[in-house]
Structure 1
Amino acid sequence: MNKGPLVFLVSTGALFGGFAARAQADETASYSVETEVKLLTDQRTRGLSDSLNRPGVQLAVQFAHESGLIALAQLSTISSKVYTGSEGYNVLLATGWRFGDPDGWHYGVGLASEFFPGAKFDSPYGFDVSTGTPTDVRTTKYNTSYGVLELGWGALDARFLNVLSKNYRGAGTGGVCGQMLAVSADPTKALECYARGDHDARGSWLADLDYRIPLDGKTTLKLHAGIQRIRNFKEANASDYSIGVLHKRWGFDWTAEYVMPKTRTRELFQVVDGTKVREVDGNRLVLAVARKF
């Protein structure tokens, strides 16, 4: 059963930042459309690697209306070993409404869904202690939907995400308990997980706090802290921290960010890559360059 790890990652929380500011800055049009292409040394969100610690690419198209309506379509490359059977990319679609003063109090609400074409895994949803064998094998997909709430004041932004779909990127009894059973040398934790019964992760909460400090007209220091609490599966709880420098030059946005995820159960973040087992939750310096059109 090689289904890859549960990478508890959501970029959705950052989707809504900046839309209203760009729309309000455009005084001659009622809406704006912006396309961004980004190259990264590691495709990470919430501190965890989607690309198996390898380079990635993102393409995003953003729409903002002066009424506060916002929308985003984003395509990101991912590893088919991290997300078993995937076609090498995921798609994120989001829409919502943002209002308030970008330099003062501002707020946002929205909905988002992400899709992983081809990605799915088979895993047991039960375990027969008397025979020592897994039972009730099912197929699970990674597709997930979220509700998003944003609250900010000036350079400080807080975002809260609630999982609306049954599972959170594969997190459920089969994903969490099954992954621990598959990769751990000691099955005790997996059996304790199965003993709680068959549950899903709907209602899980994720939160992010970002603070940007301008250093000069072209350079910004960004501080980030995030936390996630996966309903019914405490093993999947995690947090992440990062410190980064953003710089604008030659029409490009350059970023250097040191990410530090803190996971509770390391087995959930291990991937079999040939003869090696790789971890996607290690500390790492991530470099990126982006161009907006």
Structure 2
Amino acid sequence: MHPIRPLSLAIASLLAGAAVPSFAQETASFAVTTEMKVSSDQRSRGVSDSFNRPGLKLSVQAAHESGLVGLAEFATVSKKQFLGGEGLGVTLAGGYRFGDPEGWHYGVGLATELFPGAQFEAPHGFDMGTGAPTDFRRTKYDSAFAVAEIGYGALEARVMNVISKTYRGANTGGVCGTMLSLMADPMPGLACYARGDHNSRGSWLFDLGYKIDLNPTTALNLHGGYQKIANFKEANFSDFAIGIAHKRWGFTWSADWMTTRTKVRELYIALDGDKARATDNSRLVVSVARSF
């Protein structure tokens, strides 16, 4: 069994003005930006996808003057968290932006997040009489989303709705099974099973970001987010981040303090053999990126 993990911010950044060249800028009709980024911890919405270890990310972003934008991203993830996989997370997204980048602007899009080969097996039922787990099934971590954005200047608000059957494997087997196996008190896990078999289609993820340019090469970035998981309130949580990004020698150097407020921490614990490690703890994440 495996706890659910939060959505990569790359999907949200697809529609963010800072992520891709705006169609309103006086640039070529079509622009492609490739970025390589190394981080001390590969985190999504404040939770580690890399077992609290360094990660590598390659992003290719494209923008057309008509407002069409696209993204392909490849990031290293932990095989201990995304079981049976190749240690790779892939994000593919496309959308459309319109409006004034300096004033009100809007965006809509679709995205998918894939973890090649990664899946887990867990029981989707529990016999209350015999105490035996039943209905074992395999679940992939892959997800799909509808994305919408509204912003004013440097303020960006985004909402994502899960249109796939599950959000990163969040179903009865993934959530209830993890609670039952990792929580010292079995009652919350049994109560979760007693609600019946459910998936997490229809979950909502919200993000609010604000960028403050301190000077031409340095920016302060503020972020707040919340995820509301359909049928599993135990997996709801909020996350916050504050960071500095500085451009020097052709690289962007960043330092971000990230923290989360989870309801059931066991859903964000990863196992390395018999050793448990929290992936939702507060942490300073440093990174360096180069765009081509």
- Shorter-chain TM-score category? over 0.9
1:20 CA displacement: 6.0
Map of 2:255 onto structure 1 = 256
Q: Name the structure 2 match of 1:8.
A: 6
Query: In structure 2, how many angstroms separate the alpha carbons of the residues matched to 1:26 and 1:53?
Result: 41
Residue in 2 aligned with 1:231?
Answer: 230
Distance 1:26 1:292 in 2: 19
Distance 1:149 1:10 in 2: 15
Letter aligned with residue 99 of structure 1: F
Contact 2:258 / 2:284 at 8 angstroms: preserved in 1? yes
State the distance in 2 between where 1:224 and 1:98 align.
21
Q: Any conservation in 1 of the 2:99–2:106 contact (CA below 8 Å)?
A: yes
Aligned mates of 1:20, 1:264 — CA distance in 2: 34
Higher mean C-alpha deviation, range 157-166 or range 3-12: 3-12
Identity %, equivalent residues: 56
* 1:162-241 → structure 2 map (5 Å cutoff): 162-241=161-240
Question: Which residue pairs with 1:288 in the alignment?
Answer: 287
1:6 maps to a residue whose letter is: I
Contact 1:23–1:32 (Cα < 8 Å) also in 2 = no
2:24 matched residue in structure 1: 24
Q: Count how many residue pairs are aligned between Structure 1 and Structure 2.
A: 290
> 2: distance between equivalents of 1:8 and 1:133?
30
SS in 1 for 2:4: coil
Q: Which residue type is aligned with residue 105 of structure 1?
A: W
What's the CA shift for 1:245? 0.5
Decide whether the 8 Å contact of 2:20 with 2:62 is kept in 1: no
CA distance in 1, matches of 2:62, 2:213: 26
Counterpart-to-counterpart distance in 1, 2:161 and 2:281: 25
Q: Distance in 1 between matches of 2:266 and 2:117?
A: 24
Q: Deviations over 1:160-187 (max 9, x none)?
A: 0000001000001111001111212211
What letter is aligned with 2:170?
Answer: A
What's the counterpart of residue 140 of structure 2? 141
Consecutive unaligned residues in structure 1, runs of 5 or more: none
Post-superposition offset of 1:21: 4.0
Contact 1:13 1:159 in 2 (8 A): yes
Say if 1:20 and 1:99, in contact at 8 Å, map to a contact too.
Answer: no
Would you say the 8 A contact 2:98–2:105 is kept in 1? yes
Matches of 1:80 and 1:240, distance apart in 2: 24
Are the aligned partners of 1:205 and 1:230 in contact in 2 as well (CA < 8 Å)? Answer: yes
> Deviations along 1:175-229, whole A, 9 cap, x unmatched?
1001111212211111110111111111100000001111111111111100000
Partner of 2:288: helix, strand, or coil?
A: strand
Letter in 2 for 1:146: F
- Whole-angstrom distance in 2 between the partners of 1:31 and 1:109: 19
Q: Which runs of 4+ in 1 moved over 3 A?
A: 19-24
Kept in 1, the 8 Å contact 2:14–2:20? The answer is no
* Letter paired with 1:141: K
SS for the counterpart of 1:177 is helix
1:96-147 Cα distance to aligned partner (Å, 9 max, x none) = 1001111110100000001101100000001110001111000000000000
Q: Match of 1:222, SS?
A: strand
Match of 1:24, SS state, is coil
* CA root-mean-square deviation: 1.1
Give distance in 1, aligned partners of 2:106 and 2:215: 26
TM-score by length of 2: 0.97
Contact 1:22 1:32 in 2 (8 A): no
Q: Is the 8 A contact 1:204 1:231 kept in 2?
A: yes
**Contact preservation (8 Å) 1:226, 1:241:** yes
Q: How far off its partner does 1:76 sit?
A: 0.4
Q: Distance in 1 between matches of 2:132 and 2:120?
A: 18
Alpha-carbon distance, 1:279 to partner: 0.5
TM-score under structure 1 length normalisation: 0.97
